[in-house]
Structure 1
Amino acid sequence: MNEDLRHLRAEGNIHVIESDAFARASIVTRLRRAGYRATQYASISEFLVRETSDEYGCILTEVHLGEGPGGFALLRAISRNPHPLPIVFMTASRNVRIAVNAMKLGASDYLGKPLDSLLLHSALDRALELDKQRLSSPVDVLPIVLKGREEIVLRGLAAGLCSREIAEQLQLSERTIKSSRASLMRRFSATSTADLLQRAAQLVDPKWQR
């Protein structure tokens, strides 16, 4: 692990929300062994009443949380914040529609259980870096000029399309669209699709939105 990555994990904070106590403790232990700082919560309500700080971080949450509100409810709740924390979802469900809805609503990433360590660390590192950039970069310091494909992808996202749907319309690979989406996220220092669309709102033609 290089020094930059070591600092990224040590200085950010992973907010782990999982209703199952054993699973929650297990995830937090795994994260701390990998060098992450992690705070655990048994419910969305417990997370929302926490003392907030200016440190960067992200949320790692189960989609379905026992009898309380689920991860999507959290995503909707924090999306009202001008600068919401990135959310990485995890679930044992293999329902593709859940994954599509999660990304449409603005999730940073979506992971299947059992959690693969490589994919988990990659998703969390990416989310931490996005939030760190958000805190250190003013939103509108310089005008951003979009490249052709970036503008088309941005408009597709604004229209509520997922990467697969945009790829089908443009007859390109889904990987290519995801690469353009990731480039847009970096250029706008956005933490999620919802945050990206808010930051780039003036660049999106209203006729594409619905």
Structure 2
Amino acid sequence: MQVLLTGGNRGIGEQMTSQLRARGDTVVATSRDGSTGAALDVTDRAQLTALADSFEGPLDLLICNAGVYLDKGHSLGNGFDAQLWADTFAINVTGVFQTIEALLPALRLSKAPKIAVLSSQMGSDERAGGGAYIYRASKAAVLNLTRNMAIDLKPQGIAIGAYHPGWVRTDMGGSSADIDAATSAAGLIARFDCLGGDHTGVFENYDGTVIPF
């Protein structure tokens, strides 16, 4: 299977890259600084076009993993600058859309193309917990994007799903989180394997639990 993964230089992205390669998949892992071998800023349409044009062969699985949590620790009246909104949505929402759009030609060459979008249960309306307004709003937006794309891409045979990686011990999740990156990555890969056919437009936890929108 040929895989392209954004945000592959650390944490869950690095673990997914390692585990997918270990089982025999071919993985192109991108990062903004190029430390993974493929430089990509998902907010840069020219870079996305260049990457798509250089991609050889069919793309079986696109994993949109790159994301930011820029308003962590902010509170009402003390944070949430307008530029943080713009920067977060540029990466977490627009970046996902642009990445998918750029790579659709390569996905259409696959016999069973799949798109996995790393979201968060913090984007669920039913699990609203207050705070983290920018991050929560961006993850809610990308959930909506995923659901609508599922409708438009299903007739083309392309499955897409949104996934919560769990509370993971990474730079974003912190040291007191529930699970390590390796556990999250293994669960996510198992979920991606289930994508296809009528199993599209889903929102699932890394362990397979369905998350309400």
Q: Normalised by the shorter chain, which TM-score bucket? A: 0.3 to 0.5
Structure number having the greater helix percentage:
1
Q: TM-score, normalised by structure 1?
A: 0.44
Larger radius of gyration: 1
